[in-house]
Structure 1
């Protein structure tokens, strides 16, 4: 019987807030960018905020910097927030960053689209204040970190299973069972694709530890 040693959970009970939050704000309005910067300074979070006024500038920023948070204004003169979000998700450095969509009031459909598209939270621009901004930032950070932990956990579980299968296939009894199953599913004969010589070569590979490798 195959036994795999259990591993302790990789999920922390409370995900830490980064000592310095590296954030990027995409908004074409100088006034709105200045307002959000002032609000972020009052959140009691250590935020280093970069700014972009277009999707082109966003692309340049995410190509050179790994951000913890990316805030995206939905209304842009060229493209929109969903297009900008796709650019972030396609970027290897920043696809796992916390993402917040900034919308206007009464934009329920936009909010739903953004959340389904990969955002972790949203802000209504007209209703934004210090507390709303802080809450959205912390929510987005936590959701993004939990997602990354889940991806890591799944990768670790896959590796445990892979190692277990490799170990099992080096066991003579397991090899014998596999050989019996293979023979029963691939009958030999001139009318079949696999002939006896082909099958013997396949079965011999199970007995060679160097040949049995998972890629």
Structure 2
């Protein structure tokens, strides 16, 4: 999976004052924000070091308790969140519910981690939407790199689905508004012998309703299955 697109080749340019050729600095790649919730600062720091060793441009933040975790979720959007299952003020599943209820990170990919592998926790974590469950001993550099890249891919899919839903909602609102305008125009008429005839001709001219044929125009204004036809000019 390609995370960052290659920049076009940068040619040397001459500094005006010195006549010395210089290559413009490469732009910094966007940061991948990682949040770790673990009451063991030692374990959290170890995970932070392993994340930084992946050669990915990561920025790792650490929360050691639920209250701090909640504050950090409100402050920034994270690309992936690692949550320790065993916490002194709750468990990882409860922390995940806090994350899901937030505005910024409600859709952020979550990896549940634990000091020891537990099948029951793994099953429940996956059932609740975690992208994976890992024992801390399995969080090697390569494993973390794979998890981070997978989280980025999951986040991209979620963003695409969210955009599609938003566009569909906008279309439905537009069609509903147009139905209301057509309904009002047809009921009011335009002063001609055939009330609504001018309105229908106008709608046909814009490609909003099909040409020709007798039909019950009430279908267009009342039946949700009937869709407007948008003509491309």
TM over 0.5: yes
Shift of 1:119: 1.8
Q: Which position in structure 2 is the counterpart of 1:197?
A: none
Could you say what the CA RMSD is over the residues aligned between the two structures, in angstroms? 2.6
Within the alignment, does 1:91 sit opposite 2:102 as a pair?
yes
Shift of 1:144: 2.2
* 1:170 match: secondary structure: helix
More helix per residue? 1
Q: Which structure has the higher relative contact order (CA within 8 Å, separation 6+)?
A: 1
Evaluate the alpha carbon distance shift between residue 181 and residue 59 of structure 1 in structure 2; reply closer, same or farther with a 3 A threshold. closer
Within 2, Cα distance between the matches of 1:129 and 1:180?
Answer: 60
The correspondence of residues 58-77 of structure 1 with structure 2, limited to 5 A, is 58-77=69-88
Within the alignment, does 1:29 sit opposite 2:40 as a pair?
yes
The correspondence of residues 62-141 of structure 1 with structure 2, limited to 5 A, is 62-141=73-152
* 2:162 match: secondary structure: helix
Higher Cα radius of gyration = 2
* 1:84 match: secondary structure: helix
Within 2, Cα distance between the matches of 1:15 and 1:41?
Answer: 19
Within 2, Cα distance between the matches of 1:33 and 1:140?
Answer: 19
Counting matched residue pairs gives: 169
Within the alignment, does 1:49 sit opposite 2:60 as a pair?
yes
Counterpart contact for 2:180–2:221, Cα < 8 Å: no
TM-score by length of 2: 0.64
TM-score by length of 1: 0.69
